[in-house]
Amino acid sequence: MTADAFLFWFLAITTIAGGITVVSVANPIYAALSLAFTMVSVAAVFVTLEAYFVAGVQLIVYAGAVMVLFVMVLMLFDLKHELEAFARGKVSGAIKLLTAGLLGGLLIGAIAYSPEGSKIAVGANQVAVAGDPTKNLGYRLFTQHIFAFEALGVLLLVIAVGAVALSRSKGGTHGQR
């Protein structure tokens, strides 16, 4: 077993474990922490796929900012008890599991039977992208996709304004006064 293979399998296990934990624990704080763990694991997967910049961004933005936001909001709520963490109804629950399972099964089947996936380019091809991948990324982003990039900026501005506007409603988050 090569190092790549071992790394992949290890990271796959941790990612999946983290994901399962997110979905199955009742306490939302535990779920948030577990999600952060999954994000880190996914960043590591990005590293094995040689998307170094994206891995960095994943850590900074997702694990760093988004998850902090989640945890902060959860703290705000101060939920002492969690009534009914999971949806009621055994039959509908079973159908939901079945749906997700079928979807997964179909996709995996499609993956298994397509010719695309027989690309096992490992190692040798990794420097096929000429030059530094991060430099390339930056180059492409600021020339070919400049419009979308700028639009993203506008979007973020709008989001900021919107978030502020939404939180201006009356009422506090801790008890009645």
Partner 1 sequence: MSQTALISLLLASPFIGFLINGFRRKHHSGNVAGAIASVAVFISFLCSIALWIELQGLPKDARSILVNFGSWISVGGLNVNFGFLVDQLSSLMILIITGVGFLIHLFSIGYMHHDPGVAKYFAYLNFFIFNMLVLVLGDSLVTLFVGWEGVGLASYLLIGFWFTDKDKASAGMKAFITNRIGDAAFLIGMFIFFTSFGTLNIQELNALAPTIAESTWYGIITLGTLFLFIGATGKSAQIPLYVWLPDAMAGPTPVSALIHAATMVTAGVYMIVRMNPLFLAAPNTMLVIAVIGALTVIIAASIGIVQNDIKKVLAYSTVSQLGYMFLACGVGAFTAAFFHLMTHAFFKALMFLGSGSVIHAMHEEQDIRKMGGLKKYLPWTHLTFMIGWLAIIGTPGFSGFFSKDEILWLSWHSPLGHWSLWGLGVLGATMTAFYMTRLMALTFWGESRVPKSTHPHESSPIMLIPLFVLAALSVVGGYVGIPHVIGAILPGHPENILANWLGPIIRPIPGITEAEASTEWTLMGISVGLALISSLTAYTLYTKKQELVRAMTEKIRPVYELVYKKYLVDEFYFGFIINPLVRISENIWAYIDVRFIDKCTFWAGDLIKGGGSFVRSLQNGNLQQYAMYIGLGLVLTLTFVMMR
Partner 2 sequence: MDSVSSEGLSLITNVGLNHYLVLSTALFCLGLIGVLLRRNAIVMLMSIELMLNAVNISFIAFGKYNNNIDGQIMVFFVMTIAAAEAAVGLALAVSIFKRFKEVNIRFFEHLRG
Task: Name residues contacting partner 2, limited to 94-123 (CB under 8 A).
Answer: 96-97, 99-101, 103-104, 107-108, 111-112, 116-122
Binder of partner 2 out of 88, 90, 91, 177 (CB under 8 A): 88
Cα–Cα dist 115/127, whole Å: 23
| 53 interacts with, out of partner 2, partner 1, none, CB within 5 to 8 A per kind | partner 2
Q: How far is the CB of 88 from partner 1 (least distance, A)?
A: 10
Cα–Cα dist 57/18, whole Å: 20
Q: For residue 24, state whether it binds partner 1 (rule: CB under 8 A).
A: no
The encoded tokens of residue 176 equal: 């009645």
- Helical (H) or strand (E) element with 42: helix 28-48
Neighbours of 74 (CB within 10 A): 15
Which residues contact partner 1 (rule: CB under 8 A)?
87, 92, 95-96, 99-100, 102-103, 106-107, 109-110
